[in-house]
Amino acid sequence: MIDTIFPPADAPTSARGPEVPNPRQCILVVEDDAAIRRVNTEVLTYSGYQVDAADDGAAAWDALQLKNYDLVLTDNDMPKVTGLELIRKIQTARLELPIIMATGTVPDEQLTQLTRYSSWQPVLTLLKPYSFDELVEAVKTVLCAFNESRAENAPPPNWQTSPLNNRFQL
């Protein structure tokens, strides 16, 4: 099941939360505990992000097939598809997507095994219980780091393709 929560359009500006530098940033919250999923979704929505929520890894994988996300915040211990299994699916599909694993226990051995065979790894592990401030700070930090790494690998802004001969030129 996927829930989407947005502030009401008629809500006063102060009730919509602070503005975010890139309001198009969309986060997928994956959590089987309904109360934690709702709170995480509300905190991130209040912080200015677009937020969708999935109640397990299988629903999250379905959501990732339908929509582009800027970040996934996932629990690990979930029915159907665990957080690590979801990471493995994202990795196999070669989706460039930062992930925060928000979990009560760090699956060290499994996580090490997963990252040993790939250059990809979760960007951050956030241990439960965490505060609202820790959650928002983790999201900002990971998105900023991911965007900076993408900018480093992007061609210079004056890099253009000539439409006539399809050559690259500065």
The full set of domains in the chain, from first to last, is 2-169 (3.40.50.2300)
Is the per-residue pLDDT at 91 higher than 50? yes
For residues 33-53, one letter each, b for 16 or more C-beta atoms within 10 angstroms of the residue's C-beta and e for the rest, the string is eeeebeebbbbbbbbbbbbbb
Is the per-residue pLDDT at 111 higher than 80? no
Max avg pLDDT among 2-11, 42-51, 124-133, 150-159: 42-51
* N-term to C-term CA, the chain: 48
Is the per-residue pLDDT at 57 higher than 70? yes
Is the per-residue pLDDT at 107 higher than 70? no
Is the per-residue pLDDT at 160 higher than 60? no
Among 129, 160, 155, residue whose Cα is nearest residue 35: 129
Is the per-residue pLDDT at 161 higher than 60? no
Max avg pLDDT among 31-35, 74-78, 90-94: 31-35
Is the per-residue pLDDT at 21 higher than 80? no
**Rounded CA separation 143/114 (Å):** 22
- pLDDT-derived band at 166 (thresholds 50, 70, 90) equals very low
Q: What percent of the chain has pLDDT over 90?
A: 48
In this prediction, residues 87-93 reach a mean pLDDT of: 89
Is the per-residue pLDDT at 135 higher than 70? yes
113 within 8 A of 89, measured Cβ to Cβ: no
Q: What is the pTM of this model?
A: 0.74
